[in-house]
């Protein structure tokens, strides 16, 4: 989830997933709850958005039983350890600093899928 349309468009180009763009955290969660046919396997959400409170989105998602198994990845241009811990306490499975390196992304995927993603030749 992000409040920047350019980012929404870019991510949509590379995924077959549904990319939802919201202007407030309650609208994000309400839309997902009302569309119960769509339960995302994962949610990427920015933390530091001008109009949407990323931490509140995470908390609200975790409050909904249908999203308890959804993997939540919080992203921010600044990710000090105390913020990462706060986001994880709110319910994020991962807290990553943007831009995310290939190595960081691979480590995250390996922990999700319990298998090596990058194989060294």
Condensed to tens digits (0 to 9), the pLDDT of residues 9-23 reads 555 554 445 556 666
Question: Whole-model pTM?
Answer: 0.73
- Mean pLDDT of the region 9-38: 63
CA dist 39 and 118 (Å) reads 28
pLDDT in tens, 43-90: 888 888 777 788 988 998 899 898 888 999 999 999 999 999 999 999
pLDDT of residue 29: 75
Tell me how far CA of residue 113 lies from CA of 27, 116, 121, in angstroms: 30, 8, 21
Phi then psi for residue 114, to 5 deg, are 55, 40
More reliable by pLDDT, 28 or 5: 28
Residue with tokens 């709850």: 33
For the beta carbon of residue 70, count every other beta carbon within 10 angstroms: 17
* Res. 27: pLDDT tops 90: no
């Amino acid at each position: 989830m992000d409040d920047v349309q350019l980012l929404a468009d870019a991510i949509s180009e590379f995924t077959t997933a549904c990319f939802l763009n919201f202007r407030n955290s309650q609208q994000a969660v309400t839309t997902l709850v009302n569309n119960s046919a769509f339960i995302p396997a994962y949610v990427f959400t920015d933390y530091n958005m001008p109009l949407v409170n990323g931490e509140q989105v995470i908390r609200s998602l975790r409050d909904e039983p249908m999203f308890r198994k959804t993997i939540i990845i919080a992203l921010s241009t600044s990710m000090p350890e105390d913020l990462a811990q706060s986001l994880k306490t709110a319910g994020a499975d991962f807290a990553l600093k943007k831009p995310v390196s290939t190595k960081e992304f691979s480590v995250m995927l390996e922990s999700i899928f319990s298998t090596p993603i990058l194989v060294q030749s």
